[in-house]
Amino acid sequence: MEIILALSIGALTSSGIWLLLRSRTYQVLIGLSLLSYAVNLFIFSMGRVQSAAPPLLKPGVPADLAHYADPVPQALVLTAIVITFAMTALFLVVLLAARGLTRTDHVDGRRSGT
Amino acid sequence: MFSSDTLLLATIALPFVGSLVASLLPTNARNAEAWLACGTALCVLVSLSLLYPAMADEQIVRSEFEWIPSAGLSFVLRVDGFAWIFALLITGVGFLVFLYARYYMSPEDPVPRFFAFLLAFMGSMLGIALSGNLIQLVFFWELTSFFSFLLIGYWHHDASARAGARIALTVTASGGLCLFAGVIVLGHIAGSYDLDRVLAAGDVIRGHALYLPALVLILIGALTKSAQFPFHFWLPRAMAAPTPVSAYLHSATMVKAGVFLLARLWPVLGGTDYWLYIVGSAGLVTFVMGAFLAMFQNDLKSVLAYSTLSHLGLITLLLGLDSPLATVAAIFHMLNHATFKASLFMGVGIIDHETGTRDIRRLSGLYRFLPVTATLAMVAAAAMAGVPLLNGFLSKEMFFAETIATHNGSLLDDALPYVATLAAMFSVAYSLRFIRDVFFGPPATLPRTPKEPPHWMRFPIELLVVVCLVVGIVPNLTIGPFLNIAVASVLGPNAPVFDLAVWHGFTLPFLMSIIALAGGVATYAVLRVYNLDTGPLFVLAKSRLSVGDTVSAWARRILGLLGTQRLQTQLRILVCVALVAGFLPLVGHKLLPETMELTPIDPAFALVWIIGIVCALATAQQAKFHRLAALILMGGAGLATCITFIYLSAPDLALTQLLVEVVTMVLILLGLRWLPKRLDEGLRQADSSTLMRRYVDLSIALAAGAGLAAVSFAVLTRQVLPDGIADHFLERSYTEGGGRNVVNVILVDFRGFDTLGEVSVLCIVALSVFALLRRFRPAPESLSVPERKRVQEAFDVDHPDRQPGETFADYLLVPSVIMRLLFPVIGTFAIYLFLRGHDFPGGGFVAGLSMAIAIILQYMAMGTVWVEHRIRVYPLRWMALGFAFAFATGIAAWLVGYPFLTSHMFIAHLPIIGDVHISSTLFFDFGVLAIVLGATVLILIALAHQTIRTHRKPSMPSAVADGVG
């Protein structure tokens, strides 16, 4: 399990960063989204993996990490997901406005080399 | 009578209260503003004068209020003789300047801002004078820098005013930061920030290893404020300020704050070689340089600015000389300079006001037009030159006497009397030039024919000039007692006996004065013959090194060398730095533990991620030419993430991820329409540099991915640290938070304040998106009707039995009906998610998102116009409501004496349903719901409106805005 999770984080990161370094605004937007999947999974994985142990307390079960998944990274990631949405929205609108103003979707607002 | 606490508090608070009131008055209320400002200053003067008996007894009046007791800081107001005199000076000159400003400001100037800033500035200066705590002093110190910035830049349409304000702020505020650091060191040495305790610890401070750093930092603060070399350059540029500001800030108060602080801390910091050399040489250089440069200025205000530099240099030099008598002379000259310089500035203001110019070369023969103003200005200028029977003469005489007295026998010390006489000659020369060139000679042709100003505009000058005269003639009867009070409080028992007599006999200082006067007249005569505008002396004077310009030039050069305008380069550097920063801590550590227990691989999970990874890679490959495909593929990777959350025991995350995924998809789909068409040209033959760049990027991406994979694998295979905070939350979630869903309890209860911050960010983003889209101008080629719609319309036109637009309306009819029917279902589901959130997966975040999806589905199914005819959506109100709920929950805890956002459980007795356990966090969570709903809907609708906006009649956009807002 660990190895799959680690590999998928790696793949998402690589794809995200590759797109982040590209020249079109849409590529950067998608790249950021992929990168945030990776980062969210990474933060989440700091709580180690545990199946079928959601942090929903059941009466009679001791409240410790042996019986429940770590709730702290989950709480962090939950807000991170919502903030990611906000970031995507803002960036999308900025890129649309930039496209309207500069007539191009290049990240620098002009063709490369000029 | 009033207690001293009340008096002191009133002194400091009145100007700020006045400032607040002043800012609320109507724009053209010059009279009301002046009454208010002068009244405030008079009240402060009265409350200060009530302290006179205590001051005459050489007492220190203190009142202390608790500020941050845990850090040992209290808000201390402390008045001793010196602070009292300085406060009187600030308020007195303030009163006169307020009166003068009433007549100076033109009816078009927005005066509330002006008087509000001036009053606030006066309050901040009083704060410096009356602070009994060093940290508090620095606070007021920075406030004065801030208000001086606003005042210098008052005419913000003028580029030079803006530049001058910026430079003044940069120099004095960074000096203030140094002062802050220095004060912290000083407080560390003395063990307290309390001024009285610091003043009592002089020997400890001078003997401490940290003495030099503290001294240097504090001196940078003081010297920047007083515009001493090498920080002098901001003052001449600050002359772009309105003249009342210059008269107040640049003669009597702001620049005096530096020397005030030097005098204040001289008993603890002075008495060492460092003090002598740093303070003395800065003062000497500024003294001579200022006087020299003042002779060559053609702008009257510049003459006064350089002369101010010179006089401040003189005061600094006196303080640097490190002897009790020199300190007496310094304090005396601070007061004298304020009186004659303020009156001169105001006089120049009148000249400027009446003639329309301040250029000495254009002015001439003004005496016959402005006899009274001219006489007043001449007396003040004579005081500046140090002519006998005026106050400037007395302090200059004391200064000469001090330069003669031997201090340490160095070469500098021997040269001092000569240098002082030389600089005094310069100051006589520029004063004479000021008098003779402006007021005498043939009448010049001027932009306006001057006439005497209203009497009350001249009154402040008259009063100050009378002070110059009276102090100059009978010093012992007038200023003597006050000076004694001030000196006694600075020097304590070491206060020297001094004699303020006008006539001491034919002494050496008197001879120096005579030489300076005669030499000054001669210098002026030479300068008149010499062509001032082209001679080498002039070039020398004009080629002054402007530190500010040099710094910006260098900054620009370095930026050009190291910086880039290109985002790709910046991001590449950023990612590489992050890579290195992530790699460095791993050096010398083993990445993998000795023993690892891997959980067995579930083939289903493996399959999910095989698909997920393929999706991710395909997204990266497709994003350039096939945007829609890339978007769908990205959704695939998102779904894999979502499944991972379910599989690994995070149902809340899975829910949120799924809903956010939906909303993001809709969002980007809405945006795709405005992006340019890009055709897949296949694999073009790329040139070698492009190929090279791609390989570099690819290796960066692979390195980053491999690195993050390795680190997460290393973490995943290690044991959980035993002292984590997870157990804390797990144990207390039910007992203290009253909820079984630990994640939700953390969000709305334990870390509720963080969540409040998060949703605020969401709101800010939503509002920014809304604002950006209001001014959105799409590229022209995106404006055409989409192809699908064109085909549909063409179909209608070709078939005579169909109405135009019918096909479009029927498009996706079945899904639309289903989506319409889903609205109440999803709405109910959202309420269900919200209510169960505290104990089961759900909560405000997901409920808000589901509700937003319910609404946006209607938009997708039936179109914007249809939806907005049927339901009114007010996202802004939802957001406001959410904040109201969240804050009300937080403040309710305050009201019953708990910290902000403390939760409370109570049992509600509802009819039929029975007893229900309700936590106050439910209200907070509802706030979160409303904010998330409002923000999400606002973003989506704002984007959706772009499509119909261009098709609507011009009158419609306001209706759109109403519908959204």
Nearest CA distance, B738 vs chain A (angstrom): 11
**What pLDDT was estimated at residue B406?**
65
Under the banding of pLDDT at 50, 70 and 90, the label for residue B136 is very high
Chain A residue with the nearest C-alpha to that of B733? A57
**What pLDDT was estimated at residue B935?**
94
Which amino acid, one-letter code, is at B491?
L
**What pLDDT was estimated at residue B532?**
58
A54 in B contact zone (CB under 8 Å): yes
**CB–CB of A34 and B620 under 8 A?**
yes
Distance of alpha carbon B502 from alpha carbon B513, whole angstroms: 13
Chain A residue with the nearest C-alpha to that of B745? A75
pLDDT tops 70 at residue B720: yes
Q: Burial, B510: exposed, middle or buried (Cβ in 10 Å; 0-12, 13-18, 19+)?
A: middle
**Closest among B144, B334, B121 to B244, alpha carbons compared:** B121
The strand pairing partners of B562, in sequence order, are none
**CB–CB of B700 and A100 under 8 A?**
no
The region, left, alpha or beta by phi > 0 then psi within -120 to 50, assigned to residue B446 is beta
**What pLDDT was estimated at residue B531?**
56
Nearest to B705 among A11, A41, A79 (CB): A11
**CB–CB of B568 and A3 under 8 A?**
no
Q: What is the mean pLDDT of chain B?
A: 86
- In this predicted structure, which of A11-25, B56-70, B104-118, B148-162 has the lowest mean pLDDT? B56-70
**Looking at beta carbons, which residues of chain A come within 8 Å of B729?**
71-72
Q: What percent of chain B has pLDDT over 70?
A: 95
Stronger pLDDT, B137 or B538, i.e. the higher one: B137
pLDDT tops 90 at residue B728: no
**What pLDDT was estimated at residue B964?**
40
**CB–CB of A81 and B702 under 8 A?**
no
Under the banding of pLDDT at 50, 70 and 90, the label for residue B285 is very high
Under the banding of pLDDT at 50, 70 and 90, the label for residue B644 is very high
Under the banding of pLDDT at 50, 70 and 90, the label for residue A114 is very low
Nearest to A56 among B702, B740, B746 (CB): B740
**CB–CB of A72 and B660 under 8 A?**
no
Region B555-566 average pLDDT: 83
The strand pairing partners of B453, in sequence order, are none
**CB–CB of B660 and A23 under 8 A?**
no
**CB–CB of A17 and B704 under 8 A?**
yes
- Cis peptide before A59, with omega less than 30 degrees from 0? no
**What pLDDT was estimated at residue B954?**
38
Helices (H), B208-322: 211-225, 234-237, 243-247, 254-269, 273-294, 300-320
pLDDT tops 60 at residue B42: yes
To probe the interface with B, which of A3, A12, A83 has the most B CB atoms within 10 Å? A12
Distance of alpha carbon B166 from alpha carbon B177, whole angstroms: 16
Region B333-360 average pLDDT: 91
Stronger pLDDT, B679 or B546, i.e. the higher one: B679
Nearest to B674 among A9, A20, A99 (CB): A99
**CB–CB of B601 and A3 under 8 A?**
yes
A2-50+69-102 is a CATH 1.10.287 domain: yes
**What pLDDT was estimated at residue B1?**
54
**What pLDDT was estimated at residue B489?**
87
**CB–CB of B566 and A8 under 8 A?**
no
**What pLDDT was estimated at residue B734?**
84
Chain A residue with the nearest C-alpha to that of B603? A1
pLDDT tops 70 at residue B409: no
**What pLDDT was estimated at residue A111?**
60
Distance of alpha carbon B924 from alpha carbon B929, whole angstroms: 9
How far out from the chain centre does Cα B185 lie?
A: 24
To probe the interface with B, which of A96, A105, A107 has the most B CB atoms within 10 Å? A96
**Looking at beta carbons, which residues of chain B come within 8 Å of A101?**
777
Distance of alpha carbon B593 from alpha carbon B623, whole angstroms: 39
Region B731-735 average pLDDT: 85
Chain B residue with the nearest C-alpha to that of A56? B741
How far out from the chain centre does Cα B532 lie?
A: 42
Under the banding of pLDDT at 50, 70 and 90, the label for residue B407 is low
**Closest among B644, B923, B664 to A81, alpha carbons compared:** B664
- In this predicted structure, which of A85-99, B13-27, B565-579, B912-926 has the lowest mean pLDDT? B912-926
Region B584-613 average pLDDT: 85
pTM of the model: 0.67
Chain B residue with the nearest C-alpha to that of A58? B740
Other CB atoms within 10 A of residue B240 CB: 22
To probe the interface with B, which of A3, A22, A34 has the most B CB atoms within 10 Å? A34
Nearest to A30 among B630, B700, B734 (CB): B630
Cβ-Cβ contacts under 8 Å for B781 (sequence gap 6 or more): B676, B677
Under the banding of pLDDT at 50, 70 and 90, the label for residue A47 is confident
Distance of alpha carbon B304 from alpha carbon B284, whole angstroms: 18
Under the banding of pLDDT at 50, 70 and 90, the label for residue B74 is confident
**What pLDDT was estimated at residue B956?**
39
In chain A, positions 92-111, which contact chain B (CB-CB < 8 Å)? 92-97, 99-101, 103-105, 107-108
**Looking at beta carbons, which residues of chain B come within 8 Å of A110?**
none
Cβ-Cβ contacts under 8 Å for B349 (sequence gap 6 or more): B100, B104, B243, B244, B247
* First vs last C-alpha separation in chain A: 49
**Looking at beta carbons, which residues of chain A come within 8 Å of B700?**
17, 21
Residues B774-794: tens digit of each pLDDT: 878 777 777 777 777 788 878
Chain B residue with the nearest C-alpha to that of A13? B705
**CB–CB of B779 and A103 under 8 A?**
yes
**Closest among B34, B188, B196 to B99, alpha carbons compared:** B34
Nearest to A65 among B600, B619, B720 (CB): B720
B609 neighbors B638 (Cβ within 8 angstroms):
no
Under the banding of pLDDT at 50, 70 and 90, the label for residue B336 is very high
**What pLDDT was estimated at residue B645?**
94
Q: What percent of chain B has pLDDT over 90?
A: 42
SS (H, E, C) B747-762: HHHHCHHHHHHHHHHH
Under the banding of pLDDT at 50, 70 and 90, the label for residue B675 is confident
**CB–CB of B712 and A78 under 8 A?**
no
**CB–CB of A81 and B664 under 8 A?**
no
**Closest among B158, B343, B144, B119 to B239, alpha carbons compared:** B158
Nearest CA distance, A32 vs chain B (angstrom): 11
Domain ranges (residues) in chain A: 2-50+69-102
The phi and psi torsions of B677 (rounded to 5 degrees) equal -65, 140
**CB–CB of A37 and B641 under 8 A?**
yes
Residues B453-511: tens digit of each pLDDT: 888 899 999 999 999 999 988 888 888 888 888 888 888 877 787 877 777 778 888 88
Cβ-Cβ contacts under 8 Å for B805 (sequence gap 6 or more): B793, B796
**Looking at beta carbons, which residues of chain A come within 8 Å of B666?**
none
Provide the CB-side half-sphere exposure for B187 (13 A, CA): 20
In chain A, positions 55-84, which contact chain B (CB-CB < 8 Å)? 55-58, 63-65, 68-72, 74-75, 77-79, 81-84
pLDDT tops 60 at residue B961: no
Nearest CA distance, B693 vs chain A (angstrom): 10
pLDDT tops 60 at residue B318: yes
Distance of alpha carbon B769 from alpha carbon A59, whole angstroms: 46
**What pLDDT was estimated at residue B640?**
95
Chain B residue with the nearest C-alpha to that of A114? B566
Chain B residue with the nearest C-alpha to that of A50? B648
Domain ranges (residues) in chain B: 272-537, 751-950
